[in-house]
Structure 1
Amino acid sequence: MKEEEVNRCQIQEWYPKFKSVSIKTQIHELPESFIQYLLDDSGPFLLPVSISNDDALPNRIHNPEEEEDYQVSEGSGDESEQPLPPPSFPELELKIKESIKSLGGSVFPKLNWSAPKDSAWISTIGTLQCTTFSEITLLLRASDSLIHDLCHAYDSCTDKSLSRPPSFFLALRKWYPSLQPEMEFRCFVWGQNLVGISQREVTTFYPVLLEKKSNIEWLIRQFYEDQVRLKFESENYTFDVYVTKDERIKVLDFNPWGAFTLPLLFNWEELEQNTGEEGEQVDFRIVESQCGVRPGMKTAVPYDYLDTSSGSGWDQFLRNADEELQQQIRSSEAGG
C-alpha cells in the first residue's frame, strides 16, 4: 500500500468527484488548535465553551462542583498555577452550526477517514446523530478509533514518509433516520476489477437479502462500471455503498485495500486470488442464516482494531464459524 492510495480515500479527496452519487456532506478544514485539543489527554475531559450555550452533557461537563477535583488547593506549593480556561473554537462552531442547518438539522461527523463509531455510547441517544457543535465535539473527543486518523493513518504504507496528513477535515454528513443497515454493502476492487461484495452489517441475518441478492449484485456491478471504475484512480481498494428503496446506489465511503479495512465475510487472500475478469460473476456474500452471523462490533475495543490476522484467536473463531455455515449448507442441500 502506498501513501497516495491512503490519501485518495480521504473524504475531502473523493467526495467532490462522487458528490452526485453520495449523501449530502459539508466539509470543514480543522484548525490545528482543535486537533491538539482532540489529542490532549493531560487534563480533565472538558468540552469547549459553546458560544450558543449548547452543551452535549448539560450540568456535567462544566459542572463547577465536579471541576473542584482539578483545582489546586492552598498550601500545595503550586499556588502560582491557575486553572487553564476551558477551550473555545467560536469560528469553527459558527461554520459547523451553519452546515448543520443547511443539512436539515441533524448530521453525523467523520474525520478524513474515520467516523467515531466507538463513542456513540456516550451520546444521549446512543447514535452518531448530532444537532450541535458540542455533541460533535463530544463524540470526537471520546473516540479512541479516531487516533488512527490522527496518528496512524500511514503505518501500513510501504513508502511511509508522513506520520500524519498536513491537514485534517471534519465532514458533516446528513443524517437519514430511515436508512436500513441491511442495504449497506462493502465492495472490493482488485486490479480495477470488482471481485467481491459483502453485506456490511455482518452481525445480523436479514432474510430479505436472500430474495434480493441477485438484483442487488446487478445494481452494484452496473454502478461500479458506470460511476466508479474510471473515476477512482487506485488499482486496489474498497468502497461502501447503500442501495435505496428505489434501487439507486449511493457511495458512502472509500477505504484502502487491507490494513485497517475489514474484509467482513471474506479474507484478503481469497479476494486477491479472485481475478474478477470482466463478464465473470462477482463473489457476493451475505449472512445466509443465523449460524452465519459474525461476532458483534460492539466489543470492548473498536472492531476495526481487533486482531483478525492469520493465526489469531479471532481468525480461528471466524474460520470455525465459516466451517459450521458450510456444513449446514451442505446438509441442507443433501436433504433437499
Structure 2
Amino acid sequence: MKEEVNRCQIQEWYPKFKSVSIRTLIHELPESFVQYLLDDSGPFVLPVSISNEDALPNRIHNPEDAEDFQVSEGSGDEAEPSLPPSFPELELKVKESIEALGGAVFPKLNWSAPKDSAWISTSGTLRCATFSEIALLFRSSDSLIHDLCHAYDSCSDKTMSRPATFFLALRKWYPSLLPEMEFRCFVRGQQLVGVSQREVTTFYPILCEKKNDLEVLIEEFFNDNVRLKFESEDYTFDVYVAKDERVKVLDFNPWGAFTLPLLFTWEELEQKPREGVELDFRIVDSQCAVRPGLKTAVPYDYLDISAGSGWDQFLRNADEELQRQTRSSEAGA
C-alpha cells in the first residue's frame, strides 16, 4: 500500500526516532534540482558551486578534456551554449548542515542512498564534505531512479510514480562503523519475527560469539522503542549495535516488494504466524554459508530474477557452489 511505503521515507520516520537514530538534517529539494537529477538529455555537468568547490579535486584539469563536455552542434546553426546548473540556496543550506554535523555526511533521498556511485568519489565511499560531492554521487547513481521514478511500483493502490516532494537527508558520517554490527529486522503483525545479518557476503566469527546477546539487545530495543511507534503492521527496519551495546535505528523499509530479505526468503517470512512466533535470528555462521552476490548496489526492483534471466542463472550457480562446498565440508568432517 502507498501509505506503508510513505511511512518508510526518512523525513516521515526520523522525527519519531530521532533520539535512537543517527543525527540527521533534512532539506526539502527544489523541483529544479530533482529535474537536474532526472535529466539525461545532455552531457554530464555538475552544478556550478558558489563556493568554488570541486567534487573531483584530484582530477587533471586539461583544456583537451573539455572536448568531452562541449555542447554538440545542432542541425544547421550552432546550438546556443547552455549555462551550467546552479542551486545557490540549496548549496548554502547543505554547507551549513555539513558543518553542523562535523564536516562530513552520508547523503540519501526519501528512501535510497546512492550506493552504486560510491566508486566515483575520491574516497570510494559515500562520505561527502561538500555540496558538489553530493551532486556528483546523486547524478551518477542509478539506484536513486527507484525513488525518482518507481517508488510506488509495488503498491496495489498506485496512483503516481513518485512523491510530490523529495528530500535530501544528510546523516552524520561515522568512519568507525562496523559492517558486521548492522542487522535487518523483519516485523510481521507488529511482532519481530526475524533478524538477519545485513552484510551477508562475509563470515564474521564475532557474530557467532555474540549472537545470543545481540538477539536480546535487538528484541528489547524493538519492544521498547519501535513496536508502538511505527504504525505499519508489516515492515522491516535496519539497526546498528554499537560497542557500548546501544542500538540505533538506521532505516525503515516496506515488507516484501523491493526490500532484500537477505538470509531469509520472503516465502519463509510470509509463512511465519503473526502472533506467538519465536524470533528467528540468522547470521552467516561459517565461511561456507556466505551468500555471494547479495551485496549489490542495484535496488531489488532492478534485478531481473525471472526464470532464465542472467541474475536467476547467477543465483542458481551460487547456490550450486554453496551446496558443493557444504558437501565437501561434510565429507571431510
* 2:76 counterpart of 1:77: yes
Cα distance, 1:156–1:71 mapped onto 2, change above 3 Å? closer
In 2, Cα distance between equivalents of 1:212 and 1:303: 30
* 2:291 counterpart of 1:294: yes
1:180-329 matches, within 5 Å, as 180-275=178-273, 277-278=275-276, 280-297=277-294, 302=298, 304=300, 305-308=302-305, 312-317=312-317, 319-320=319-320, 323=323
In 2, Cα distance between equivalents of 1:64 and 1:152: 39
RMSD value over aligned CA atoms?
2.5
Cα distance, 1:71–1:110 mapped onto 2, change above 3 Å? closer
Query: Cα distance, 1:116 vs. partner?
Result: 0.2
Q: Over residues 217-241 of structure 1, what are the superposed CA-to-partner deviations in whole Å (9 max), with x where a residue is unaligned?
A: 0111111111101100111110000
Contact 2:7–2:13, Cα closer than 8 Å, also in 1: yes
Name 2:114's counterpart in structure 1: 116
Give the structure-1-normalised TM-score.
0.90
Cα distance, 1:119–1:94 mapped onto 2, change above 3 Å? same
Aligned residue for 2:95, secondary structure, equals helix
Name 1:40's counterpart in structure 2: 39
Q: Over residues 253-280 of structure 1, what are the superposed CA-to-partner deviations in whole Å (9 max), with x where a residue is unaligned?
A: 00001111100000001111122634x5
Contact 1:187–1:194, Cα closer than 8 Å, also in 2: yes
Name 1:50's counterpart in structure 2: 49
Comparing 146-155 and 319-328, the one that deviates more: 319-328
Comparing 227-236 and 302-311, the one that deviates more: 302-311
In 2, Cα distance between equivalents of 1:259 and 1:12: 21
Which residue identity does 1:18 align to in structure 2? F
Query: Cα distance, 1:295 vs. partner?
Result: 1.6
Name 2:25's counterpart in structure 1: 26
Contact 1:129–1:175, Cα closer than 8 Å, also in 2: yes
- Identify unmatched segments of 5+ residues in structure 2: none
Aligned residue for 1:227, secondary structure, equals helix
Query: Cα distance, 1:152 vs. partner?
Result: 0.2
Q: Over residues 94-126 of structure 1, what are the superposed CA-to-partner deviations in whole Å (9 max), with x where a residue is unaligned?
A: 000000000000001000000000000000110
Indicate which of 175, 178, 181 corresponds to 1:177.
175
Comparing 266-275 and 195-204, the one that deviates more: 266-275
Which residue identity does 1:37 align to in structure 2? Y
| Total equivalences in the alignment | 328
Contact 1:112–1:171, Cα closer than 8 Å, also in 2: yes
Equivalent pairs: percent with the same residue? 73
Cα distance, 1:209–1:183 mapped onto 2, change above 3 Å? same
Comparing 203-212 and 307-316, the one that deviates more: 307-316
Aligned residue for 2:268, secondary structure, equals helix
Query: Cα distance, 1:309 vs. partner?
Result: 5.9
